[in-house]
Structure 1
């Protein structure tokens, strides 16, 4: 049985349609990503599935239970980390987390363990208003996970984190998913989705454009590979004349060859002993994202 079933969910604000008839299923134990540019409807969709916002149309179930009207039976089984979190003022990080734990009858020892797991043990006695943005984000995630939920919703969980903290959180989230929990997250980081997600849904304009695994989505895109060789290893004109090369141009890293036959081009470079500093970049989930949603700036 799917952990989450979304059937024709829709939500409008006046003339703005935020979510326009979305239907999805998320399997039990699946790590599912929702991707999209600003204003695509990701957060509104998540809030309806979490039972925080009433849909105009359609319905959703989590763990076989309807989410609206807000279902009290789901509260201890679901963890939610919102895009913007509000903490109890003047509490320390430890007090904040212990308060959340108490709401679910979770012992204080578990709350203290979560402080360590999100790297905040040294900030345990710091008031929440004195935490940095990234530290507050990590505390918010710990609050969402402290009661050991079966399904976890994370709305841009790494948005304010530095690269090291992001990677540490990836390990934490992968561990949660490996233990059988269902995780749904929204993110703007394509590398994050590629590393963590079993499947992703790409949204724009309130609708789902594509749903599949990151690897499968990349395979459907006829994106050329980019082969970069060290400066001086091959001239641009020579590269453009090679069989299989669609185009070539200079960059700060060397000469970049664009090709849909990377194996053939690499073989030719090897025959000419031109593999110095070679680097190959195939199509990525970011290429798929831009192909589906465009490159225009979203405010």
Structure 2
């Protein structure tokens, strides 16, 4: 089966695509730079630029996995950065849908990246009876959180595909754990040097998923195309920021004795720090559980031990 992956040169794509190939899928990576795709994946995938997407026949493809979008943590947020973060998600999504709906027969299934930020902001972990599931309404109403606005608009763009006859699955990612990438890349060095810190109160929730389980979950969704709509891709164990950094320090065999006060985060990072570091979401994946998906790394300790070879 043929699959299109956009945003395939990012951290998730570089982990996912080898697994897709190993599972027997033929992968076409859509991106801005064919050379970059070939450098990363050699001749194992087909590389196509966005301006050549229409040369491909959508009837030949079973699925589209859309991971395109600039890193939300790469730059301190301002008006220009926010516009670019939104544009880098909406433009590829719209283009993929416009292409996919031209299929004369069965339209390809759109698996669109999303994020748990859609649920709004929590300053501390919620109790079990107030966990966010796929049917939960956002607590950010009217929407004042940029992260929530960003994800909501991204999902609305993807839903247009559904209205035009495409099956659409909205993959709401938690924080993805992979050594040397993303959040772990930012935390590993300071923690290894004994400079890891509890941020603010440390009570803010952190819903995460190990990269291996994320890949397996996406493969699971591909094997079960009847699963459409939103699905939370998070591990069963949601933790506080304090527990996260203490568990990381435990795995790295380092102490934790520092605390970064909330005011310092607000001064350094502004709204981005407020939303991404001082807040979180207490999320569970009810739908994965209902479909009996099995996590290989359901606990944070197991995931971090795997990532750091403990």
| TM-score, normalisation: structure 1 | 0.30
Structure with greater strand percent: 1
Structure with greater helix percent: 2
> Whose radius of gyration is greater, 1 or 2?
1
| TM-score, normalisation: structure 2 | 0.29
